[in-house]
Structure 1
């Protein structure tokens, strides 16, 4: 699917659906820093918070279904099968305490994995709109994820890719959260793509001039299926 989107969007965009980059973001920690040295105090505290949260939370299960289009990219939608994903996100926020300031006022109410981030002009905007429309209800199966990673993203010359700082296993038991399964459809997709993408490599909210980073994540807990 990532290759199909890239074929319509054109070269230069970030194929975030590639095995070395794909992920579900749980929480962003701070604005981008080019380097996170060994022994970084914030990374150490975040790793400890991630471990404490994961110890109390069971593996996350998503139903993957539908594709949506935004001004910044194309995403696959993920729907929690039970309350585990939201419970883990909430528990992580509590364990981070003041280190979770970056997203304290931001509530993630959807789960998704980005296939392509736009960084330049979209070559075939209408073709991409039509491609997404045909896949709005595409069912892609279920994913069970039992590992959470503390990540930063580093540009490899083609795109930002995951760089692991720490990881832990989700192994506890969580309570069922009422209404966790309420959302069953992807958020509305935009029906047009601007000729010039809204976020270029250097304008991306957490990128520097080398397009290093993703969504401000220098150290971000993320859950993904190891490739």
Structure 2
């Protein structure tokens, strides 16, 4: 959620070039000790209401294992946002962080309806998770759309949100990823973390099939931000459930 937004990049090799640029920036920041340090969400900051794609069960397990490896090198105080209770692929952020979102919130109602309409018009999203990259703020798993479904859903969601899409109206998301680790302070072994990530630039993490799109907010649980689902909509059927 707090990692860099999607850069302008085309399919296939374009995505790879964008991840290469992120890796170079992340490597340099990590080795220089100038990497970003995250802190718990505050009202008006990051980690606000968002629409995300949840990885499927098998990919969730693989990402959790990779996250544990990275955390063991970086040090235990960083946020393991690739853990099952936190991992996600952001499609669009809706607003800045609010520590309290009341039941019946008008924005949540409107956005849940928009997610249902957008999902009903689109087929399930398949993302090939291949390799990890560094960024100045953490470690992420790189995702590559298998077909046009991911980009079509993102575009349709923006249309269905209408005026509620204003938060990212001028922000382009053109790569897909799941952040595994957010840095919160000094790194225990920067050089080894860079080497670990470099060795896994092409690791096959499988294809994740998102059968639903989720509207959620984030709550800091004392350890890290975790997902708080508000609504979930199935692709291609229009079926949705409130949770």
Provide TM-score, normalisation by structure 1: 0.75
The DSSP-based 3-state class of the residue aligned with 2:93 is coil
**Gapped regions of structure 2 (runs ≥ 5):** 1-65, 238-243
Quote the residue 2:227 is aligned against: 162
Quote the residue 1:61 is aligned against: 126
Distance in 1 of aligned mates of 2:215 and 2:94: 10
Q: Does 2:60 match 1:7?
A: no
The DSSP-based 3-state class of the residue aligned with 2:98 is coil
User: In the alignment, which of 81, 92, 111 is matched to residue 146 of structure 2?
Assistant: 81
Cα deviation digits, residues 6-59 of structure 1 (max 9, x gap) = 111112111001111000000001111101000100111100100110010000
Distance in 1 of aligned mates of 2:91 and 2:184: 23
Distance in 2 of aligned mates of 1:46 and 1:133: 39
The DSSP-based 3-state class of the residue aligned with 1:76 is strand
Quote the residue 1:95 is aligned against: 160
Q: How does 1:103-142 map to 2 (within 5 A)?
A: 103-142=168-207
Quote the residue 1:214 is aligned against: none
Cα deviation digits, residues 42-99 of structure 1 (max 9, x gap) = 1111001001100100000111101000011100001000000000000000111111
Quote the residue 2:115 is aligned against: 50
User: In the alignment, which of 19, 30, 33 is matched to residue 95 of structure 2?
Assistant: 30
**Gapped regions of structure 1 (runs ≥ 5):** 173-227
* Cα deviation, residue 169, structure 1: 0.3
The DSSP-based 3-state class of the residue aligned with 1:13 is coil
The DSSP-based 3-state class of the residue aligned with 1:43 is helix
Distance in 2 of aligned mates of 1:29 and 1:56: 20
Q: Pairwise CA RMSD of aligned residues?
A: 1.2
Quote the residue 2:214 is aligned against: 149
Distance in 1 of aligned mates of 2:156 and 2:184: 33
Provide TM-score, normalisation by structure 2: 0.70
Distance in 2 of aligned mates of 1:103 and 1:81: 25
* Cα deviation, residue 144, structure 1: 0.9
- Aligned residue pairs total 173
Distance in 2 of aligned mates of 1:5 and 1:41: 39
Q: List 4+ stretches of structure 1 deviating above 2 A.
A: none
Q: Does 2:85 match 1:20?
A: yes
